[in-house]
Structure 1
């Protein structure tokens, strides 16, 4: 089936600014250069928060999650277009697998810490392309996925059973970007499991203070990725 879809990626963290997964492998840098039209990225409002305790070598880092708790307290991040129009489901699969590799998911759609997800622009995309995309993600889902893992403290899960992001179509930060944003048929994103219960702001601030290597929080700020809580977190640093 011919699709002819415009797509992109919602980037809420280190995919935007980190070049390597392992030392000097340039996997993320090469993915951005080969697959994304970074010059035309769009600043958007998204329900995100620092909600996952990650990190290696016993140095915890608070990283970003989608969160319906933040529906009325949105943060700022980016939608970045793919360089190429998606003509068929095989081309969409290639883009999804490339994103998975850049995320360290090794081509899988579901890992024990997160999943690849999608979001439709319901005002533009037709029913048949929707069905094709839903079918693709259903085939790639496995028993590591549990929808209850993607909700915290009684909030609505950020995902549906079929790995669709359960949030509204995105709003631009700049009203002048709305016409361009509304030309996208779909977006891909990585949704990670939140740590339960909600991370306290004081604990997030402690992790920021000890993150002297990756500097996740600071690199997000320097690249324009913000959450509603950032001012209060910064007050605790």
Structure 2
């Protein structure tokens, strides 16, 4: 079966966190990543990023654009699926023990395309999820399934994968407003605006990006005019012009 990893943040572009680049190079075919529409937003405060917001998956809401990245190996057995899930979590949480697929703040979940679970994969995955003691949270159910719509491409076609793996993190109790997301970036001085801007540069977008950027522009932070972010800012400005 063709397995894809749904990526909505730094797993795609972060080369500094231990193991992430190696995971992408050896387990994924990033060159064949497919932009897909899924409900996402900046919904979780990250203490390690100076209390700026990182991306979360939602079960519903305005669609944003994530990337569905094919795994290099096909999933033939439940052991193959477990291996991909474990490697995904290790990339997400480098200090986690090998084989673990979740924690109190996040978890790996699986979305099976209709018909793909007929070989007993869903049942086997459910048994493994419970055996590992992984708890349901956010959009991951007690059976380890992702409670999100099946990803569709930008032209509305169903994404051509048999199953999708993703990490879901626990969002804030109250969904942050675009202004709160923008203000969090404006109120820090440690370079953590890079999460938002690297997402934009790599095609990971939310429905609120234009509003977030408008508020940031109004705040005129020093970093908005740096060469480091020139391309990402150009993308955001172009989107603003198109919207007008």
Query: Residues 211 and 90 (structure 1 numbering): CA distance in 2 closer, same or farther, change over 3 Å?
Result: farther
Q: Is the 8 A contact 2:125 2:144 kept in 1?
A: no
Q: Does structure 1 residue 213 correspond to structure 2 residue 191?
A: yes
Q: Does structure 1 residue 65 correspond to structure 2 residue 56?
A: yes
TM-superposition CA deviations, 1:33-83 (whole Å, max 9, x none): 0000111111100011100000327x112001111341xx10001100100
Ranges in structure 1 where 5+ consecutive residues have no aligned partner = 151-157
3-state SS, counterpart of residue 116 of structure 1: strand
Q: Number of aligned residue pairs: give it.
A: 211
Q: Counterpart in 1 of 2:172?
A: 195
Q: Counterpart in 2 of 1:15?
A: 11
Q: Counterpart in 1 of 2:214?
A: 235
Structural mapping, 1:25-36, within 5 Å = 25=18, 27-36=19-28
The 4+ residue runs of structure 1 with deviation greater than 6 A are: none
Separation in structure 2 between the aligned mates of residue 134 and residue 173 of structure 1, nearest angstrom: 31
TM-score using structure 2 length: 0.80
Larger RCO: 1 or 2 (CA < 8 Å, sep 6+): 1
Q: Is the 8 A contact 1:60 1:211 kept in 2?
A: no
Q: Is the 8 A contact 2:107 2:140 kept in 1?
A: no
Q: Counterpart in 1 of 2:162?
A: 185
Q: Is the 8 A contact 2:136 2:144 kept in 1?
A: no
In terms of Rg, which structure is larger? 2
Separation in structure 1 between the aligned mates of residue 10 and residue 164 of structure 2, nearest angstrom: 18
Q: Counterpart in 2 of 1:130?
A: 122
Offset at residue 216 of structure 1 (A): 0.5
3-state SS, counterpart of residue 79 of structure 1: strand
Q: Does structure 1 residue 42 correspond to structure 2 residue 38?
A: no
Offset at residue 92 of structure 1 (A): 1.7
After the TM superposition, which of the residue ranges 47-56 and 123-132 deviates more from structure 2?
Answer: 123-132
Separation in structure 2 between the aligned mates of residue 221 and residue 35 of structure 1, nearest angstrom: 24
3-state SS, counterpart of residue 228 of structure 1: coil
Of 76, 82, 87, the residue aligned with 1:93 is: 82
Query: Residues 127 and 64 (structure 1 numbering): CA distance in 2 closer, same or farther, change over 3 Å?
Result: same
Separation in structure 1 between the aligned mates of residue 128 and residue 24 of structure 2, nearest angstrom: 23
TM-superposition CA deviations, 1:169-222 (whole Å, max 9, x none): 1111135xx47x33x211110000001211122211012222642410011011
TM-superposition CA deviations, 1:78-113 (whole Å, max 9, x none): 100100111212222211111111001614222121
Q: Is the 8 A contact 2:56 2:170 kept in 1?
A: yes
